Structure 1
Amino acid sequence: MAADRPDDVVRLGHRPLIVSDIDEVVLEFLTPFKLFLESRQHRLLPSSFRLTGNIVDLENGEAASEATVRALLDAFYDAQEQWQTPATLVVNTLAELSAEADIVFLTAMPPRHAAKRRALLDALGLPYPLLASEEPKGPLVKHLHGDRELPIVFIDDILRNLHSVRDHAPSCLLINLMANAEFRALAPVPDASIHAVTDWAEAARLVRFHFGLPTAQN
């Protein structure tokens, strides 16, 4: 399946825009992925901020190869509705923010899994437009927002994605959010242009301030 293009699935109003990653931001990823790995006779033992090299085959004690990690990720995404759950506070927070802004999900998962992700998001009360692409996120966000003179926010757990958006949409408020505290502690520290938060309540306060909205709700 080809990657979605913004013009195909997103119609923006004349409102501020929130673009958010999904895994580890909107949906729990690492916690359920660890449980999934155990069901496949593997274990995640994080000693660095990456998957390859940190996943161990329980049968022989060896680190899983990059090809094996890719295959495990693919199997996990194929069964995501059985494992993934919403990040804390995300459903209500985005519902409140959607009254004031357009929301678009931009996920880096292989597009062939997008239909299952769409069904899962809908079932969880997260009905916002979804773009699935493995292309760099900066050009996609720039194309999505265009030349609109309206506030924009981008939320992601991976710094390279935040840097890509910063390079292509410099007016964007950048928020670094990762649900899993264990991996968050191993992550590189963002620079001053990126706001690191630990949960959606903190993210919402930043978003509302950036949009010039009252923050009392959060």
Structure 2
Amino acid sequence: MSVASADPAAIVLGDRPLIVCDVDEVVLEFLTPFSAYLGSRDHELLPRSFRLNGNIVSRPDGIEASRPQVAEFLEDFYDAQPDWQTPVAAAADTLARLSAAADIVFLTAMPPRHQHIRRRLLDASGMTYPMIATEDAKGPAVSALHAGRPLPLAFIDDISANLHSVRAHAPAALLVNLMANVTFRALAPHPGDGVAIARDWAHAETLIGDHFRKPARG
């Protein structure tokens, strides 16, 4: 099995550019299969705002799921993720092309107790790049990975807070906002200045290629 860890120090990089990539909604579908999973539990995710809490309701009576219920749904979903999640269109092929010139590391916002299930799912999808699972802020993890090397760095994520965290700790990184689910992408807040918004993986590939051709700032 490929590397799965909660420690950036466990990842060995080559002397190449680095792409750090989120998993849910970036390389694996999340919101669409999670909505299907909720349906199997007689609940649904309503596209009322860009969050889970407050938008998951019971189908029989429309009552909002409590925070503990939402946490339970997520826990059960992650335990069963191979039964529900599938790769985002073009993600595997695009990463394969990018891996010819860059190291790729997945940085997934997930309790590390689920990391081996996710690792097997990614491997089965042909995306065998090293993976870090963490519930902590992503900026320090990206900074520890890159370690100030004078090589290009790109970070891809669907959540603005993660992009801003990386900007604070690795200011030379290209920040790419990418989200698979079109409905919830329309509800997401603008990620702010200095973040490139990718329409899809083809667009992300172009943005990253352009960034890698620029002189690195360290």
TM-score (normalised: structure 1): 0.95
SS at match of 1:132: strand
Aligned to 1:17: 18
What's the offset of the Cα at 1:59? 3.0
Aligned to 2:172: 171
Render the CA deviation track for 1:123-169: whole Å, top value 9, x for unaligned. Answer: 00000000000010001100100021000000000000000000000
1:154 aligns with 2:160: no
Percent identity, aligned pairs only? 59
**Residues 123-138 of structure 1: pairs in structure 2 closer than 5 A:** 123-138=124-139
What's the offset of the Cα at 1:121? 0.3
CA distance in 2, matches of 1:91, 1:23: 14
Q: 1:5 aligns with which of 7, 13, 34?
A: 7
CA distance in 2, matches of 1:130, 1:140: 12
1:62 aligns with 2:63: yes
Render the CA deviation track for 1:96-125: whole Å, top value 9, x for unaligned. Answer: 000100000000111110000000000000
CA distance in 1, matches of 2:188, 2:61: 28
Give 5+ residue unaligned stretches, structure 1. 214-218
CA distance in 2, matches of 1:162, 1:191: 10
SS at match of 2:28: coil
Aligned to 2:87: 86
CA distance in 2, matches of 1:72, 1:198: 29
CA distance in 2, matches of 1:76, 1:190: 27
- Read off the aligned partner of 2:7 and give its amino acid letter: R
Render the CA deviation track for 1:54-77: whole Å, top value 9, x for unaligned. Answer: 000123320000110010011000
SS at match of 1:28: coil
Render the CA deviation track for 1:15-49: whole Å, top value 9, x for unaligned. Answer: 00000000000100000000000001100112000
SS at match of 1:139: helix
- Read off the aligned partner of 1:109 and give its amino acid letter: M
CA distance in 2, matches of 1:135, 1:113: 15
Render the CA deviation track for 1:185-216: whole Å, top value 9, x for unaligned. Answer: 00001222000112100000000111119xxx
Aligned to 1:53: 54
SS at match of 1:128: coil
Aligned to 2:202: 201
Q: 190-199 vs 92-101, which deviates more? A: 190-199
Aligned to 1:216: none
RMSD of aligned alpha carbons: 1.0
CA distance in 2, matches of 1:190, 1:98: 26
Q: 11-20 vs 54-63, which deviates more? A: 54-63
What's the offset of the Cα at 1:94? 0.3
CA distance in 2, matches of 1:205, 1:61: 43
CA distance in 1, matches of 2:210, 2:157: 18
